Amino acid sequence: MIEYVSLNEYNLEAVNTLSNRNLEFDNVSFDIFRFKTLQDPNFDPAMAIVAMSGGKPCGYMMGVCRDNGDSISAAVKFFAVDKEFRGQKIANEMLKIIKREAEAKGAKSLGVGFIRPNYLTPGIDTRYTAAIGFLIRRGFERRGENFNMDIDLSASDWSSTELEEKLAKDNIICRRLQADEKEKFGEWMIADGFSTGWRYQVMRAAEQDPIAVFIAEKDGQYLAFAGYDGVRPRWFGPMGTSQNLRGGGIGTVTFLKCMQSMKQAGYDICEIGAVGPLYFYSKVANARVSRIFWLFEKAL
């Protein structure tokens, strides 16, 4: 008999093990799994469902709703069912629970995989064939795709000296963000038009040791930033430059500083999540597309 309970501290480690057993391309540590689940800013135990059999988890599904002010976004962040338990409608029952909760909160649709700012993957990796089949059979429609790119950190020393010297002539410097300015920097991000989601990810990167955020400034005024490990370990992003300063190499310096720091930390590969400027990363770092994710959505 299958029992459905909420995800909590007591079953979290066993569910993390189950997740890593089934999501072969997205194994994460216990700390990261907690960050993606219980520490999500909108964690709701009614939408974090664990299927239990014989006192052990055999499946789970994590959903979340986010209040956007004028609307509610709802999504299934990730899910898995052990192979020997598939075909017993376990995922279907968990989906019903999450769908019901999302509708009660006022969501008009239910997405899968990608719901900023705290997500595991920007969609469903196309190699999770069984998961994609499950979604299509239940009326979810493909709404687009995202992709990640990989950078071989061993391929370069990621020197930024020449570019830094050029920018220094205009009194622009690039440095690591300091702990005592995190709040001030976060306020600048919002004032300069960057999203609260990016601010969330940058502040997460700023919690790392050493701080995994580099900024460019001129005369005490922030101009650009780049960070890593804010979404997942070894993942780069986000990166941004004030709109009227783009194209002058300022963002490139913050990017290169991150590559230097990641290499020094012992990373061999840098993974860029949910890539926007494909050409930039291809040109500057010889980055290559490494993962493709499909976006699914269903009207409620």
User: Domain boundaries in the chain?
Assistant: 3-139, 151-292
Pairing of strands 288-299, 124-125: antiparallel
Tokens of 275: 């890539």
Q: Give yes or no for a contact between 38 and 12, defined as CB atoms under 8 angstroms apart.
A: yes
CATH of domain 3-139: 3.40.630.30
Spatial separation of the C-alpha atoms in residues 224 and 238, rounded to whole Å: 11
Matching CATH topology for 3-139 and 151-292? Answer: yes
Q: Which CATH architecture has domain 151-292?
A: 3-Layer(aba) Sandwich (3.40)
Reported as a pLDDT band with limits 50, 70 and 90, residue 211 is very high
Exposed e or buried b per residue across 200-219, where buried means at least 16 C-beta atoms within 10 angstroms of its C-beta: bbbbbbbebeebbbbbbbee
Tell me the whole-structure pTM to 2 decimals. 0.94
Q: What is the pLDDT of residues 44-91, one digit of tens each?
A: 999 999 999 999 999 999 999 999 999 999 999 999 999 999 999 999
As a whole number of angstroms, the distance between CA 17 and CA 223 comes to 42
**Phi, psi at residue 280, to the nearest 5°?**
-60, -50
Mean pLDDT computed over 207-216: 98
pLDDT in tens, 10-49: 999 999 999 999 999 999 999 999 999 999 999 999 999 9
**Residue 185 region, left (φ>0) first, then alpha (ψ -120 to 50), else beta?**
alpha
pLDDT of residue 247: 86
Read off the pLDDT of residues 136-190 as tens digits, 9 standing for 90 and up. Answer: 999 999 999 999 999 999 999 999 999 999 999 999 999 999 999 999 999 999 9
Report how far apart, in Å, the C-alpha atoms of 226 and of each of 19, 98, 151, 174, 276 are. Answer: 30, 35, 16, 10, 14
Query: Which percentage of the chain shows pLDDT scores above 70?
Result: 100
Q: Quick one: average pLDDT of 279-288?
A: 96
Query: Residue 277's pLDDT is what?
Result: 87
Confidence of residue 281 (pLDDT cuts 50, 70, 90): very high
Which residue, chain included where needed, has tokens 């799994």? Answer: 33
| Cβ neighbours of residue 28 closer than 8 Å, sequence gap 6 or more | 16, 19, 20, 36, 120, 232
pLDDT band at 224 (very low <50, low <70, confident <90, very high): very high
